Amino acid sequence: MEYQKLFIKINNGLQEFHDLGQVADYIPELGKVNPNKFGVHLTTVDKQHFGFGDANEKFSIQSISKVLALTLAYTLEDENLFKRVGVEPSGTPFNSLFQLEADNGIPRNPFINAGAIVISDVLVSHLKNPKEDFIQFVQQVAENSEISFCERIVASEKSCGFRNMALANLMKSFGNIKNDIDEVMDFYFNLCSIEMTCQELSKTFLFLANHGVCPFTNTIILTPSKTKRINSIMQSCGFYDEAGEFSFKVGLPGKSGVGGGIVAIHPEKYSIAVWSPKLNKKGNSNKGIEFLERFTSETKISIF
Ligand code: DON
């Protein structure tokens, strides 16, 4: 497949796309990003790389890292993990509070903020040096020892993380946060601050397209069954109250972040990462979704 030519063709077609999205500015540091950045990178399971635009520029992957946190927590807790967090689409915004009270402090899924905070709590319980051990895990999966947290983003999120603190406190009141709230939230904000390029992101997520094994190193990250399940949660919950729409338009499991990144997986074929910082009203990259819709329409290949 001539992915490179296809990227150019789709990008040319997108010149007429009026992107009415807005850069996330509820986290002050994210509001400073150039809104017109655009990058895409695809890595195949047979280790071919295809990049376009700003594919080698670092950005804040934000909620995309929740998939990596879930991956590690799932290997540590197995199915017990799902006693504390569900696997159902929420149908609500990523930072919504109201459902959590009705559900007795059990978040609908691991990708809404509440779910990722529970996963953070699980990792804080298991890991000796939670932040250090987690970033080492990410570096191992990424096969890149330079992947790191961004202290600037952590400080910026902490300065305005009132909703996230409210979610954590509500869950603590139901007994679904076991550790000290400040420690769990410090971990959560660091998790969200990880920076990667599109190239790094697509390579890092390739294990999900390859039954849980990194094709570059043959390292087993997850069992095939757990890999299937994480892809399945991405399919139904990766885009919050727009998960159905993403599935309808693109037809691949994926995950978004408010930094404007999206990663999508085609099992046994590739992992593709797109970055365009302007977000739609649901907090997902506007042009990123449009690009991926055109991509699977042009290739006529999706999981359906
Ligand atoms: O906690 C937050 O609000 C952000 N650090 C992450 C939210 C996010 O990326 C939602 N994704 N579209």
Q: Count CB atoms within 10 A of the CB of residue 75.
A: 17
Amino acid code (one letter) for 249: K
How much is the pLDDT for 292? Answer: 98
Q: From atom 1 of ligand 1, which residue's Cα is the shortest distance away?
A: 113
101 touches 159 (CB < 8 A): no
Sign of CA dihedral 80, 212, 63, 133: positive
Q: Which of 192, 274, 285 to mutate to test the pocket of ligand 1 (most atoms within 8 A of CB)?
A: 192
What are the tens digits of pLDDT across the range 231-286? 999 999 999 999 999 999 999 999 999 999 999 999 999 999 999 999 999 999 99
What are the tens digits of pLDDT across the range 31-58? 999 999 999 999 999 999 999 999 999 9
What are the tens digits of pLDDT across the range 173-230? 999 999 999 999 999 999 999 999 999 999 999 999 999 999 999 999 999 999 999 9
How much is the pLDDT for 110? Answer: 98
Residue 267 CA to residue 213 CA, distance in Å, equals: 12
The residue assigned the tokens 């299937």 is: 228
Give yes or no for residue 113 having a pLDDT over 90: yes
Where do the H-state alpha helices sit in 103-176?
A: 113-126, 130-142, 151-158, 162-173
ipTM of this model? 0.98
257 touches 239 (CB < 8 A): no
What proportion of the chain, given as a percentage, has pLDDT over 90? 98
Q: Which of 63, 67, 190, 240 to mutate to test the pocket of ligand 1 (most atoms within 8 A of CB)?
A: 63
How much is the pLDDT for 1? Answer: 76
CA angle 2, 5, 7 (to 5 degrees): 105
Coil/strand/helix, residue 25: coil
Q: Is 113 in the pocket of ligand 1 (CB under 6 A)?
A: yes
The burial of 3, by beta-carbon neighbours within 10 Å (0-12 exposed, 13-18 middle, 19 or more buried), is given as buried
Give yes or no for residue 100 having a pLDDT over 90: yes
Q: What's the whole-model pTM score?
A: 0.98
The burial of 187, by beta-carbon neighbours within 10 Å (0-12 exposed, 13-18 middle, 19 or more buried), is given as buried
CA separation, residue 291 to residues 13, 41, 207, 208 (Å) = 10, 12, 23, 21
Nearest alpha carbon to residue 188 among 247, 269, 124? 124
Q: Is 157 in the pocket of ligand 1 (CB under 6 A)?
A: yes
For the segment 107-117, the average pLDDT, to the nearest whole number, is 98
> Rounded to the nearest 5°, which phi and psi values hold at 214?
-70, 120
The residue assigned the tokens 């990058």 is: 39
Domains assigned to the chain: 3-299 (3.40.710.10)
